[in-house]
């Protein structure tokens, strides 16, 4: 089964922040409510990034790097996570994979948040 998530339509028009106290569009909420349930069930998730005014690093790192800290392997994440991003949004896909890789390297060293 495949789950499609349009960030601005299904989640929040202004994704920003890392923690729940940062407002409704935070990375923790996106990870916990929109990503983890599907990924842990082994579902492929296609995320449409288009249309948001931007994606702050704090949001991206918490939402996607946080998957590693939530005990998902980078290999499993790469197997199940896909993105739809037009030309102007491709840079965010690159950053997401960087945050996942950084979180995995940091976890291997016994650290927590990278970035």
In DSSP terms, 2 is beta-bridged to 44
Closest CA to 115 of 49, 66, 47, 82: 66
Give 70-111 pLDDT, tens digit per residue: 999 999 999 999 999 999 999 999 999 999 999 999 988 886
Domain range summary for the chain, segments of one domain joined by +: 2-108
What are the angstrom distances between the C-alpha of 56 and each of 16, 53, 61, 79, 91? 6, 10, 9, 25, 12
Give 50-78 pLDDT, tens digit per residue: 999 999 999 999 999 999 999 999 999 99
**What is the rounded CA–CA span in Å between residue 46 and residue 68?**
18
**What pTM, to 2 d.p., does this model score?**
0.93
């Amino acid at each position: 089964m495949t789950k499609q998530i349009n960030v601005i339509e299904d989640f929040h028009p202004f994704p920003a922040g890392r923690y729940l106290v940062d407002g409704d569009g935070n990375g923790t909420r996106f990870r916990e409510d929109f990503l983890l349930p599907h990924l842990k069930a082994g579902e492929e998730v296609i995320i449409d990034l288009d249309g948001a005014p931007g994606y702050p690093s704090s949001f991206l790192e918490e939402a996607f790097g946080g998957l590693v800290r939530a005990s998902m392997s980078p290999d499993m994440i790469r197997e199940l996570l896909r993105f739809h991003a037009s030309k102007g949004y491709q840079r965010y896909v690159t950053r997401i994979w960087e945050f996942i890789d950084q979180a995995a390297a940091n976890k291997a060293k016994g650290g927590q948040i990278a970035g």
